[in-house]
Amino acid sequence: MGLSETDGIGGRLAGAATAADALAAAWDAFDLVAAAAGLYANPASAQYAAFMFTAAAAAEARDWAGMAPSMPGGPGRQAGRGPSLAAGELEEFCRALPGHLAMAAGQAELAGDREAFTRAAAAAEQIRMLLAGCGE
């Protein structure tokens, strides 16, 4: 179920026709990452710091997307639900995010949207570095 959700969000992000679609998909993507990282943040694990900071970075990236001018209002993903993702799947999902967001930034017409995608891409890159190797 978790894997299908990441597939779905990844597909929406890659195939978004408008900035609004891309922002909504980005918001859902980072919300999912924040929730998953929060679940993995266990003090007994040596990766506690990595997951804690991943959750914080994902929440900030989500808010960048959410505050962008073209972000649509109204209901979205069942926010905050913890997906049953393996750590490796989470890492793999995050690996693809910077590229999708950088592409969306290049296509955005509004400066506010461009900045939001750029900032979210930077956060996604930070998350990718934090999680690299977490599934090993």
Site residues, another protein (CB under 8 A): 24, 27, 31, 38, 41, 43, 46-50, 52-53, 55-56, 59-60, 63-64, 66-67, 71-77, 79-80, 119, 129-134
Question: Three-state SS for 50?
Answer: helix
Nearer to another protein, 15 or 81 (CB): 81
Residue 92: which region, alpha, beta or left (left: phi > 0; alpha: psi -120 to 50)?
alpha
Nearest approach, Cβ of 61 to another protein (angstroms)? 10
d(CA 35, CA 43): 16
Taking the C-alpha atoms of residue 27 and residue 95, their distance in angstroms, rounded to an integer, is 16
Q: How far is the CB of 125 from another protein (least distance, A)?
A: 12
Q: Closest approach of Cβ 59 to another protein, in Å?
A: 6
DSSP-derived letter for residue 72 is -
Task: Name which of 100 and 119 has its Cβ closer to another protein.
Answer: 119
Residue type, 84: S
Query: Minimum distance from CB of 2 to another protein (Å)?
Result: 19
